[in-house]
Amino acid sequence: MRDRFRVLVAAFVVLCLAGAAAAQSLPTPEQYLGFRVGTDRKLATWDQVVRYMQLAAQASDRIRYEELGKSTLGHPFILLTISSPQNLARLEEIRADQRRLAYPYELDESAAEAIFRRNPAVVLITLTIHSTEVAATQMSLELVYRLATEQSEYVEDILNKVVFLLAPSVNPDGQVLVVDWYNRNVGTEYEYSPLPWLYHKYTGHDNNRDAYMLTQVETRLVTKILYEDWFPLVFLDEHQMGSSGARLFVPPFADPINPNIEPAVMAAANLLGMYMFHKTYAAGLTGVQYGERFTWWWQGSAKNGAWYHNMVGLLTEMASAWLASPVEQRRTRLYQLSREEEPSGGPRDPREPLPPPRDTWARTNYPRPWLGGTWRLRDIVDYELVLTWALLEGVAANREMLQRNFYTLNRKAIETGRKGNPFAWVFPPEQHDPGAAAKLLEVLGLAGIEIYRAAAEFTADGQKFPAGSYVIPMAQPFRNYAKDLLEPQSYPMRPVRAGETPERPYDVTGWTLPYQMGVTAIRIDRPFDASLERFVPAPPAGALVGNPRARNVAFLLPHEWNASAHAVNRLLARNDVEVYWAAQSFQIAGQQYPEGTIVVRPTKSARDPAAILEHIARETHVRITAVEWPQTTLNAWRLRAPRIALYQPWTANMDEGWTRWLLEQYGFPYTTVHNADLRAGNLRARFDVIVFADQSKNSILNGNRGEWIRPEYRGGIGEAGVRALDEFVRTGGTLVTLGEAADLAIDALGLPVRNVLRNVPASQFFCPGAVLEILVDNRHPLGYGMPERTGSYFRNSPAFELVAPFTASEPRAVVRYPTENPLKSGWIGGPEHLSNRIGALEVRHGSGRVILFGFPVQWRAQPHATFKLLFNALHWSAATTATVP
């Protein structure tokens, strides 16, 4: 007995020594980097961060390192799993239990209680999705060092009670781009020159608006952690905000609340927010605030999506330095009302001190307001260390409550769904664009929503649905998420008196996916029975059908499908087929084909046209029909591969990035053009169409100005660029403008068009992000393939009317708003300002044309219902009138 005890003690001593030795082998971040984390003008690179995390995992049995995948530009996207060695040894078991809590169909109370007793709480923290918010990734080095090495009751208690998933950067590309750019400029006169391109290749700052549409690989990786691998109970996303107000925002969030978030989720977030609020003040830090600006309303960021999955999504926002350069702010006193305005008539010089803080009123949710002074990277690191440890403490202390909350709410969701109202959403198999419907189902499936397909016909709410219909029952744990994305939003805007400006929502007010994507999805309220099988969404299978061996064969593609544009781009790259849009409807073998139908005819040199079309059909997921072509003349547009230019300013325009993303997804070859390319002129020789993404006229013309801007990135297209665009259009080119860029085209080319919303104040018209109804002229080539009525996105967008005289320019409205209120989802104030106004139009100018899209046809790559308008504009730019041979 005694000997056995001695052996145990000896083994314990050896283990402790091993632990201490391993801990000693991990250098401190300061030893590793050669400078203290947060030192002025010093930033660790992504390579250094990744290597340090690998060292920490090698040195410590508390840390596991994984590379989950590669970022858009090929950098490692990493995740650390940090917990006690005992927990890490049974990590797969813990993970399996998390899944049982997430989908508790078979998990009764007593089995759940057993999980609560044996398991730690899983918490995810993601850092620096916005790459100019540099501090958190830097901070993570000191955080991980302490977690890896400290032998204290405090740290060990947290490690025993928590499985901590840490993503040190969820946009590694931006970490690389921003740090490289800063290191290139620091210490020079251009230290404050902003990055002239997006810090995520396609989305820039909007990388945190992609959480439900999941277009980018980084968003998909975070989604996989959340809804496939881990189902964490708590998810904190650490950000930075502007430099001039509060030092730190923590939850509780502000109003309004979204009705699809469980109050128990909000309460748990409030509680954990209070841990951070308390600990930062207890540590002697000031300027910490809760309950303002950041609301419970919108969908789009990953941590917000977590709310609708009954997870406790949290946000922290630190005041920013200028990357790693300190910021000076003039001081003020408590309860002092500063009357100093931001200087107008030009950008603020970032080298000058900021005006004093304006919000100096001490109050419950902001008891020690920030009153100005010097603010440095190290300050942010210090606050972030305190708040991150506070959260881990709060999760450890409330482990069982958080587990029970998640389990109970997931059970409740299933029960609520069974009762109906709503009971399910049904997607009939016949859709205007089956690819859009498949995409909608796919993104819901990736977010943990269970989707079914009906094996047989069924009846629900008195309607018959065929076999093959897709069904999303509401009796599932994450029903609130599906419901919120499928139903219309009704934003609870607080009423204002006439002439007052309504309160601006944090982001958009509505997003209903079926409306944005032109997908038919029917809400069913009463319970029904149907034979359902689980279904993993996939794009429609492309196929060549009909009669491919016809003697005089033609191939028909549905213009209604967005994917057909992709197929057309493949076809236009070949010289053995000719591609047409029918300019009139026609009949073949009793089948009616609408105007705009895509007709492909092989040339004499085509060796095996059926094989070519079949291959393209499969690759682009389009159904192509082969027919015997009748010997009739059919008026048509003959397409040629358009030579597309996409304007990229040096102001890092997200809308340009989204446009570029969309063009690449649908196979449109394009050339990026900058200010110098446009100013050089002779554009018609190079391009058929030039696209301007949403950007103000002033920004396009003048770009960034200031002597702190690197000279090669100053300025815009200028007067020379305007003259070149005018000549380009007059000589037959097509100019396409999105959103506010319309103002440039209207003014610079003198178009007989007026943006009716240009000077309308928000007190009269206000629509800060909603889905609206539009009416489309689908007999105009721009409208081919569109239904006559559909949903479109709108975010304080321009709308147009024609201004006489315009005999020569023959403007044609292609999209109009209805005379009645066009709101389908979200919020609109002053809808009468849109009544019968034009949303998109074509204007002749010389021998070319200008196409103005007021509303965002490609908004964050979401409104599949209106992508086609842009695709048509691009294809049409190189089309000529013809007859199909």
- Quick check: 372 and 356 in contact, CB under 8 A? yes
The residue (of 135 and 879) whose beta carbon lies closer to Zn ion is 135
Least Å distance between CB 842 and Zn ion?
Answer: 39
The residue (of 653 and 755) whose beta carbon lies closer to Zn ion is 653
Pairwise CA distance, residues 181 & 178, whole Å: 5
Least Å distance between CB 315 and Zn ion?
Answer: 9
Least Å distance between CB 239 and Zn ion?
Answer: 3
Least Å distance between CB 296 and Zn ion?
Answer: 17
The residue (of 130 and 714) whose beta carbon lies closer to Zn ion is 130
Least Å distance between CB 135 and Zn ion?
Answer: 11
- Quick check: 533 and 455 in contact, CB under 8 A? yes
Please list, in sequence order, all residues whose beta carbon lies within 8 angstroms of the beta carbon of residue 312, skipping any fewer than 6 positions away.
233, 234, 235, 265, 268, 269, 272, 306, 402, 405
The residue (of 379 and 743) whose beta carbon lies closer to Zn ion is 379
- Quick check: 28 and 39 in contact, CB under 8 A? no
Least Å distance between CB 209 and Zn ion?
Answer: 11
The residue (of 208 and 489) whose beta carbon lies closer to Zn ion is 208
Length of the chain in terms of residues written: 885
Strands 121-127 and 234-241 come out as parallel
Nearest to 598 by CA among 875, 857, 877: 875
Helix pair angle (217-224, 434-446), 10° resolution = 40
The residue (of 303 and 643) whose beta carbon lies closer to Zn ion is 303
The residue (of 300 and 435) whose beta carbon lies closer to Zn ion is 300
Least Å distance between CB 652 and Zn ion?
Answer: 15
The residue (of 387 and 451) whose beta carbon lies closer to Zn ion is 387
Q: Give, as one character, the DSSP assignment of residue 851.
A: E
- Quick check: 726 and 749 in contact, CB under 8 A? yes
- Tokens describing residue 423: 């009971």
Beta-strand runs (E) in 709-837: 734-738, 753-755, 770-776, 789-794, 800-802, 812-816, 823-825
Least Å distance between CB 238 and Zn ion?
Answer: 9
Which alpha helices (DSSP H) does 323-478 contain, by range? 377-397, 399-419, 434-446
The residue (of 161 and 239) whose beta carbon lies closer to Zn ion is 239
Question: First vs last Cα of the chain: how many Å apart?
Answer: 99
Nearest-5° angle of CA 206, CA 212, CA 216? 55
Nearest to 256 by CA among 499, 503, 48, 30: 503
Please list, in sequence order, all residues whose beta carbon lies within 8 angstroms of the beta carbon of residue 664, skipping any fewer than 6 positions away.
none
Least Å distance between CB 179 and Zn ion?
Answer: 17
Helix pair angle (864-876, 654-665), 10° resolution = 80
**Which H or E element spans position 78?**
strand 76-82
Q: What does the binding site for Zn ion look like in residue numbers (CB under 5 A)? A: 130, 239
The residue (of 293 and 758) whose beta carbon lies closer to Zn ion is 293
The residue (of 253 and 668) whose beta carbon lies closer to Zn ion is 253
Least Å distance between CB 613 and Zn ion?
Answer: 47
The residue (of 315 and 725) whose beta carbon lies closer to Zn ion is 315
Least Å distance between CB 216 and Zn ion?
Answer: 16
- Quick check: 147 and 80 in contact, CB under 8 A? no
Pairwise CA distance, residues 154 & 519, whole Å: 53
Least Å distance between CB 208 and Zn ion?
Answer: 6
